Amino acid sequence: MIKFKPVVHRLVSTCARFRSLLVTASLATVAAAFPAVAAVQAPLTGPQVDGPTAVARARVAADVLMATYDPVKAWFPSSWWNSAVALQTIGDYMQRTGDRRYLGQLDNTFEKDKGAFPAGVLSGDPLLGNFTSRAIDDSEWWALTWLQTYDLTKDPKYLDMAVTIANYVNGYWDTGTCGGGVWWDGERTYKNAITNGLWIRLTAELHNRIPGDTLWLGRSKTAWTWFQGSGMVNADGLVNDGLTNACTNNGQTVWSYNQGLAIGGGLELYRATGDAQILVAVKRLADAAIGPDALAADGILTESCDATDQTCDDNGKQFKGIFTRYWTDLVDTTHDPRYATFLDHQAQSIWANDRDAAGRLGTHWSGATDDDHPNVFDWRTQASALSALIGDVPAVTPLESLAATLSPAQPVIMPSASGVTKIPVDLGVSATGFLPVLALASVDVPSGWNATPRANLLALQPHGISAPVSGKLPLTVTVPGNAADGHHMVTVYLKAAGLRFTTQADVLVAHAIDFDTGTVDENPWLFDAGGSQSNGVQNRFADGHAHFTYRFPFPADTSAAHVTLTIDAEFLVQVSQDNAHWTTVLQESQPVTDGSNKADRTIDLTPYLGAAADGAKPLYLKVSDAFPDDGWGGRVYHVTANILE
């Protein structure tokens, strides 16, 4: 080791000088080959994290999000409009970073889900085909998603689909009520901000992509003028949710996504027209959003349901990400340092305070949590917070980046009375660029612990920015038998010429199992979410063919174990020693859809304990749906275990 570090430092220094010379000599060539990289915009002035690190952070978060994408149904579990926004966010990520790995998933969704579907298959509403339904705003979200995909691919089928959807939505523009506006629903019961903000943005985007268009531009200008005079923008410059039956502001909640779409619609129309007055109106909306007593608390964007005594529903979880999507557009368009600083502040807080070791991003960007209303982590919150990380990536895509993850990111150790426990952990490294990357990985562990190797070099050969290359370094972390209960961080510092990244594993040492589901306390035990869902109020459920699996690494000297589940609905519970061969230990025999069978049920796991390996006797417990056709699968609220040694 004494000789190793100076050699590494010389190699890194030499690589840095070589890279600097070669990049200087070949930048023009690279720009010619990759025109998206060469696009020049005025640099932002603000305390932004450096570009390569911002790209790396976004890549880690995007990969976590896409790990929850269902390639069979071609969407994200359970929410139709949320899936459109999540895919649009991935499109934003690809457009901003140059990474193109997820184009196939976008096309998979387009081809599989463009047909008609009965209620309950992909949406609570019947889908009418071409991504339309009675939910007019849902239809608009999908149109914007396909315009984003068209921008990425230039395949006209996506633009054609957006036009088809827009023609459908235009049928709900109605001057007979409130003088104009698009109805929110097929029954024409409500005119609101989100549907009309989306309409302004959609029609302006169509104009800006269809040569010689005047039709969509006219509709966008008409919609903007109507919206500005509708009364939905209140005296403080904030957008309330919608209109009363008497066509007045209904005074309902100022949701961030309504404010964001008003900003985003105006920006796209400003690009279409060059009308300076539109930009003035947009800035008023933006200034109001970050003004006193508006949408930020201590500088962090905070939805009304984000308070620690509140819980956002599945819709509200994604509102802030929509706001930051269009706030990023505001920053790119105006280059105003105030707006850039606000955006950067969101991204920095998310990364520092609202991220677990597995790279999951929560709904509270400040990181605030409460026992009764915990910070929630799921794919919707991931997509939302990812939007802020994308906004922190410079508009001129950095040519190189370096990221790392540890897997498992949240291992659990249940030490035996004596002896040590060894955890296999893989360091995954990814890089983009046009030159070889030689990275030094250094591992830091708690006092008394050990890691092998403690330092090592990884060589990667990236070939551009469209497909990051990856490598893996196996590590072994040794935990002493006297390690204190609680969370212990294993940190890897990754360094290459001009590039830095840090990743961690959060090792939980525990002599007992006792956790509420749907909380951060559940995460270390949750081995495989399996398409299950949690609504953030202490439950997790698995409908249809979804499941969720817990891993219990019982101590090597365990002689008996019992687990108690607070569970209801149509549960099927199985156990396994190897996560492959399963034995059913608990099953509801009747179709129960009202939670009336909720009870504590204890399972004797002793017959299933196997031989000790690596200091533990691991058991896997899987919960799924005993009646997969009716959508009321097993729902667990609390898990405890008793262990005899």
Task: Tell me which fold the domain 4-10+401-509 belongs to.
Answer: Immunoglobulin-like (2.60.40)
User: How many other CB atoms are there within 10 angstroms of residue 498's CB atom?
Assistant: 15
Question: Which residues have C-beta within 8 Å of that of residue 459, sequence separation ≥ 6?
Answer: 436, 437, 438, 439, 471
Query: Which CATH architecture group holds 513-644?
Result: Sandwich (2.60)
pLDDT of residue 534: 82
Best CA proximity match to 479, nearest among 534, 551, 423: 423
Find the length of the chain.
Answer: 645
Do residues 542 and 625 make contact, with C-beta atoms less than 8 angstroms apart?
Answer: yes
Please say if the pLDDT value at position 255 is more than 80. Answer: yes
Structure confidence by residue, pLDDT tens digits, 176-209: 999 999 999 999 999 999 999 999 999 999 999 9
Task: Reply yes or no on whether the pLDDT at 10 is more than 90.
Answer: no
Of 16-20, 62-66, 245-249, 389-393, the least confident: 16-20
Residue 44 amino acid letter: L
Strands (E), 13-94: none
pLDDT score of 32 more than 70 = no
Distance, CA of 532 to CA of 83 (rounded, Å):
15
Who's near 77: CB < 8 A, 6+ residues apart?
68, 70, 379, 531, 533, 546
How sure is the predictor about 340, in pLDDT bands with cuts at 50, 70 and 90? very high
Residue 201 and residue 261: Cα distance in Å, rounded?
7
- Would you say residue 642 has pLDDT above 70? yes
The answer, yes or no, to whether the previous bond of 408 is cis (omega within 30 of 0) is yes
Q: What is the pLDDT of residue 536?
A: 62
Q: How sure is the predictor about 7, in pLDDT bands with cuts at 50, 70 and 90?
A: very low
126, 117 in Cβ contact below 8 A?
yes
Kindly report the backbone phi and psi dihedral angles of residue 405, in degrees, each rounded to the nearest multiple of 5, phi listed first: -140, 155
331's torsion region: left (phi>0), alpha (psi -120 to 50) or beta?
alpha
Q: How confident is the model at residue 537 (pLDDT cuts 50, 70, 90)?
A: low
Round to whole Å and give the CA distance between 229 and 196: 12
616 token code pair: 């533990």
Amino acid of residue 368: A
Find the helix or strand (DSSP H, E) in which 616 lies. strand 616-625
Of 563, 551, 565, 553, the C-alpha closest to 523 is: 551
Mean pLDDT of 495-522: 93
The beta strand positions in 28-139, using DSSP E, are 116-117, 127-129, 132-133
Q: 34-56: string of b/e by CB count within 10 Å (b at 16+)?
A: beebeeeeeebebebbebbbbbb
Q: How far apart, in whole angstroms, are the C-alpha atoms of residue 332 and residue 270?
A: 13
Instruction: Report the alpha-carbon distance of residue 180 to residue 222 in Å, rounded.
Output: 9
Q: How many C-beta atoms lie closer than 10 Å to residue 489's C-beta?
A: 12
Whether the Cβ atoms of residue 372 and residue 16 lie closer than 8 Å to each other: no
* pLDDT of 4 strictly over 80: no
Query: What does the pLDDT average to over 515-524?
Result: 89
Q: Is the pLDDT of residue 33 over 90?
A: no
Ramachandran angles phi, psi of 356, nearest 5° = -95, 180
Asked if 337 and 45 touch (Cβ cutoff 8 Å), the reply is yes
Tokens 């957006």 — which residue?
162
Q: What is the mean pLDDT of the chain?
A: 90
Q: What are 300's strand-pairing partners?
A: 297
- Residue-range domain boundaries for the chain: 4-10+401-509, 35-391, 513-644
Q: How far is residue 354 from each of residues 305, 532, 585, 595, measured CA to CA in Å?
A: 16, 22, 37, 32
Calculate what percentage of the chain has a pLDDT beyond 90.
80
Quick one: three-class SS letters along 51-65?
HHHHHHHHHHHHHHH
Cβ(383)–Cβ(89) under 8 Å?
yes
**Across 72-76, 305-309, 579-583, 616-620, which has the greatest mean pLDDT?**
579-583
> Greater confidence, 630 or 565?
565
Q: Kindly report the pTM of this predicted structure.
A: 0.89
Residue type, 472: K
* SS3 state at 404: strand
**Given the structure tokens 């469209």, which residue do they identify?**
466
Asked if CATH classification 1.10.3720.10 holds for the domain at 35-391, the reply, yes or no, is: no
CA triple 183-207-197, angle to 5 deg? 30
Q: How far apart are CA 109 and CA 102, in angstroms?
A: 11
3-state secondary structure of 215: helix
Q: Look up residue 262 and give its two tokens.
A: 């008003």
Q: Can you name the residues that pair with 570 across neighbouring β-strands?
A: 633
The DSSP code sequence of 447-488 is: TT-EEESSEEEEEE---EEEEEEEEEEEEEEEE-TTPPSEEE
Name which of 463, 457, 456 is nearest 436 in CA terms.
463
How buried is residue 537: exposed, middle or buried, by Cβ count under 10 Å (0-12/13-18/19+)? Answer: middle
Question: CB–CB of 622/582 below 8 Å?
Answer: yes
